[in-house]
Structure 1
């Protein structure tokens, strides 16, 4: 799975102090999308479309997140990866 730079950029918002910076997870998601240009939003959305429409297991999705460059020093996902990734995709769709 080839993670595009736009996705890495977006998930940098979810660093270890995200809950100090943001009042809610939804606010962090919105800010992560705000960081992207329109082109980057399209790239990240396309990546999430491909990933969520493929037959990846929850473990594979969590590993994709946890091993991506953007997640370094940030939160890790242990379960519910598809739900979280779908929330990111929905925020991207809303912003395009």
Structure 2
């Protein structure tokens, strides 16, 4: 799978010290979006829509997320859900 550069750049905002800057994940998502050009947001939306289309299992989505520039994951072991986190990100992208 080819991950769009725009998505890789977007995920770089998901860094390990986010909790020092934002009270929750929503604040981090909003900040990442605010630093992303609208045309790049559209590419990210399309990519997330593809990821959430049902073609990928939770385990595959986790592998894809881990192959990005994100330093943090919305899941650990069997806890958490990459699917739900991607849905949350998508809900912030108009």
Confirm or deny that 1:62 pairs with 2:82.
no
Structure 1 CA distance for aligned equivalents of residues 93 and 5 of structure 2: 15
Match of 1:86 in 2: 87
Unmatched runs of 5 consecutive residues or more in structure 2 = none
Unmatched runs of 5 consecutive residues or more in structure 1 = none
Higher strand share: 2
Aligned to 1:32, the other structure's residue is in SS state helix
Structure 2 CA distance for aligned equivalents of residues 54 and 28 of structure 1: 26
Which aligned segments of 4 or more residues in structure 1 are displaced greater than 3 angstroms? none
Q: TM-score, normalised by structure 1?
A: 0.86
Match of 2:37 in 1: 37
Higher helix share: 1
How many residue pairs were aligned?
Answer: 90
Q: Deviations over 1:47-87 (max 9, x none)?
A: 0011111321111001100112x22xx11343400000011
Q: Deviations over 1:6-37 (max 9, x none)?
A: 11111112111111111211100111111111
- Alignment partner for residue 75 of structure 1, among 72, 75, 86? 72
CA RMSD of aligned residues (A): 1.2
